[in-house]
């Protein structure tokens, strides 16, 4: 028995939030590692110079991947809805 389309939609929304948070965390952490590497190499860099682009990029990538999850999940829900009729 296939799940109800409403269940698929809610599961998709939760999955999209989790994916956004995970991607955003990983990209932001990469920016922090970049800052530490610059600091250890003796290159003077302000935290804002490194982290502002990292945070902006993390939000953009997170939204992109969450969008992919959302489109796939809503597509699956629409397919289930058509199949039920």
Taking only the tens place, the pLDDT of each residue in 30-61 is 999 999 999 999 999 999 999 999 999 999 99
Q: What percent of the chain has pLDDT over 70?
A: 99
C-alpha 29/C-alpha 4 separation (Å) is: 37
Does residue 85 carry a pLDDT above 80?
no
pLDDT digits (tens, 9 = 90+) for 2-22: 899 999 999 999 999 999 999
Which residues are CB-contacts of 12 (< 8 A; sequence separation ≥ 6)?
69, 70, 72, 73, 74, 76, 77
What are the domain boundaries of the chain?
Answer: 14-40+47-75
Q: Which tokens go with 49?
A: 């110079």
Residue 1 has pLDDT above 90, yes or no: no
């Amino acid at each position: 028995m296939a799940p109800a389309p409403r269940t698929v939609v809610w599961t998709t929304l939760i999955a999209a939030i989790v994916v956004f948070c995970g991607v955003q965390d990983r990209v932001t952490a990469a920016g922090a590692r970049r800052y530490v590497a610059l600091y250890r190499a003796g290159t003077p860099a302000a935290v804002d110079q490194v982290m502002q682009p990292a945070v902006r990029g993390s939000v953009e990538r997170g939204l992109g991947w969450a969008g992919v999850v959302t489109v796939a999940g809503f597509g699956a829900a629409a397919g289930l809805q058509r199949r039920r009729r």
